[in-house]
Amino acid sequence: MVSALIPLIGLMICGAVIALETKDLLSGIISLGIIGFALTIVFLILQAPDLAIVQIIIETLTLIILIAAVLKTTRKDSIESLKARKVILWVAGLVCVAAFIFASLKAFADISAFGSPVLRMAEYYLSNGVTGTGAVNLVAAIILDFRAYDTLGEATVLFTSVAGVVTVLRKKGRA
Amino acid sequence: MQGMSLIVKKISQIMAPSIFILGMYVVAHGHLTPGGGFAGGVLIAGCFTLLILAYGSSKERSLVFKEKASLIESGGIFLFLFIALLGLIQGTLFFVNIFSRSNPGVPGALFSSGIIPLCNIAIGVEVAAALFAIFITFAIMRFGEKL
Amino acid sequence: MIEYILAVVLFAIGLYGVIVKRNLIKIIIGLMIMEYAVNLFLALIGYRSGGAPPIVEVGKNQIFVDPLPQALVLTAIVIGLGTTALLVSFAVRIFEKYDTFDVRKIRKLRG
Q: What is the pLDDT of residues B102-116, one digit of tens each?
A: 676 777 777 777 788
Please indicate whether, in this complex, the C-beta atoms of B145 and A134 are within 8 angstroms of each other: no
- What range does the domain containing C25 cover? 2-108
Total domains, chain C: 1
Please indicate whether, in this complex, the C-beta atoms of B46 and A162 are within 8 angstroms of each other: no
Question: Using a CB-CB distance cutoff of 8 angstroms, which residues of chain C are in contact with residue A87?
Answer: none
Residues A151 and A173 in one domain: yes
Contact call for residues B97 and B119 (beta carbons, < 8 A): no
| ipTM for the whole complex | 0.90
- What range does the domain containing A85 cover? 80-111
pLDDT of residue B139: 87
Residues A63 and A86 in one domain: no
Q: Is B92 at the interface with chain A, CB within 8 A?
A: no
Chain-wide mean pLDDT for chain C?
A: 89
Q: What is the pLDDT of residues C21-67, one digit of tens each?
A: 888 999 999 999 999 999 999 999 989 888 888 888 877 778 888 99
- Residues lower than pLDDT 50 in chain A: 175
- Asked if the model's pLDDT at residue B137 lies above 80, the reply is yes
Single out the residue in A64, A93, A111 at which a domain terminates: A111
User: Does any domain span residue B145?
Assistant: no
User: Does any domain span residue B111?
Assistant: yes
User: Does any domain span residue B127?
Assistant: yes
Could you say which of A58, A140, A169 has the minimum Cβ distance to residue B116? A140
| Residue type at C71 in one-letter notation | A
Handedness of CA A13, C20, A63, A59 (dihedral sign): positive
pLDDT bucket at B72, cuts 50 / 70 / 90: very high
- Global pTM value: 0.91
Distance CA A53, CA B12 (A): 20
Residues A171 and A145 in one domain: yes
pLDDT of residue A173: 54
- Asked if the model's pLDDT at residue B93 lies above 80, the reply is no
pLDDT of residue B147: 38
How many Cβ atoms are within 10 Å of A90's Cβ, its own excluded? 13
Give the CATH number of the domain where residue C52 resides: 1.10.287.3510
- Asked if the model's pLDDT at residue B99 lies above 80, the reply is no
Residue B15's contacts (CB-CB under 8 Å, 6 or more residues apart) are B50
User: Does any domain span residue A95?
Assistant: yes
User: Does any domain span residue B97?
Assistant: yes
Residues A143 and A162 in one domain: yes
User: Does any domain span residue B51?
Assistant: yes
- Mean pLDDT score, B122-134: 95
User: Does any domain span residue A116?
Assistant: no
Residues A59 and A98 in one domain: no
pLDDT of residue A7: 93
- Mean pLDDT score, C81-91: 94
User: Does any domain span residue A37?
Assistant: yes
Query: Nearest 5°: phi and psi at C41?
Result: -65, -40
Single out the residue in A91, A111, A131 at which a domain terminates: A111
pLDDT bucket at C110, cuts 50 / 70 / 90: low
Q: Is C56 at the interface with chain A, CB within 8 A?
A: yes
Ramachandran sector of residue A153 (left: φ over 0; alpha: ψ -120 to 50; beta: rest): alpha
Total domains, chain A: 3
Total domains, chain B: 1
